[in-house]
Copies of this chain bind each other. A is one copy, B any other.
Amino acid sequence: MNGAECLARTLVACGVDTVFANPGTSEMHFVAALDKVPGLHCVLGLAETVVTGSADGYGRMTGRPAATLLHCGPGLANGIANLHNAKRAFTPVVNIVGDHATWHRVHDAPLASDTEGLARCVSQWVRTASAASTLGKDAAAAVHAALSAPGQIATLVLPADCAWNEGGTVSEPLAPPSRAMPALDNVRTIARALCSGVAGMLLLSGPALSEQGLRAAQRVAQVTGARLRTPTQVARMARGRGRVPVDRIPYVIDLALGVLAGTKHLVLCGARPPVGFFAYPGKPSTLWPADCTVHMLARAEQDVIGALEALADELGAPREAAIPDPGPKPEAQRGVFKPDAFALTLAALLPEDAIVAEDAVTSGRALLAPTFAAEPHDWIQVTGGAIGHGFPAATGAAIACRERKVVCLQADGGGMYSLQSLWTQARERLDVVNVIFANRSYAILRGELAAVGARPGPVSEELFDLGRPELDWRLLANGMGVEAARVDTLEGFADVFRAACARRGPFLIEFRI
Q: How far is the CB of A166 from chain B (nearest CB, A)?
A: 11
Q: Given the complex of chains A and B, what is the CA–CA distance between A147 and B466 in angstroms?
A: 33
Interface status of A47 (Cβ within 8 A of chain B): yes
- The segment from A214-222, A337-345, A391-399, A477-485 found at the interface with B is A477-485
Within 8 A of B (CB), among A453-476: 453-460, 462-463, 465-466, 468-476
Residues from chain B with Cβ under 8 Å of A449 in the complex? 28, 31-32
Residues from chain B with Cβ under 8 Å of A198 in the complex? none
Interface status of A104 (Cβ within 8 A of chain B): yes
- Beta-carbon contacts of A419-430 to B below 8 Å, as 1s and 0s? 110010011000
Q: Are A77 and B74 in contact (CB under 8 A)?
A: no
Q: Given the complex of chains A and B, what is the CA–CA distance between A112 and B100 in angstroms?
A: 30
Residues from chain B with Cβ under 8 Å of A42 in the complex? 459, 462-463
Question: Known: A81-B78, A445-B25. Is A161-B279 also a contact (CB below 8 A)?
Answer: yes
For this complex, into which size category does the number of interface residues on chain A fall? 35 or more
Q: How far is the CB of A442 from chain B (nearest CB, A)?
A: 8
Interface status of A101 (Cβ within 8 A of chain B): yes
Q: Are B479 and A475 in contact (CB under 8 A)?
A: yes
Interface status of A137 (Cβ within 8 A of chain B): no
Interface status of A371 (Cβ within 8 A of chain B): no
Interfacial residues, chain A to chain B (CB-CB below 8 A) = 21, 23-26, 28-29, 31-32, 34-36, 40, 42, 44, 46-47, 49, 72-75, 77-78, 80-81, 84-85, 88, 100-101, 103-104, 106-111, 113-114, 117-118, 120-122, 160-161, 164, 232-233, 272-273, 275-279, 281, 285-286, 383-386, 388, 413, 416-417, 419-420, 423, 426-427, 444-445, 448-449, 451-460, 462-463, 465-466, 468-476, 478-481
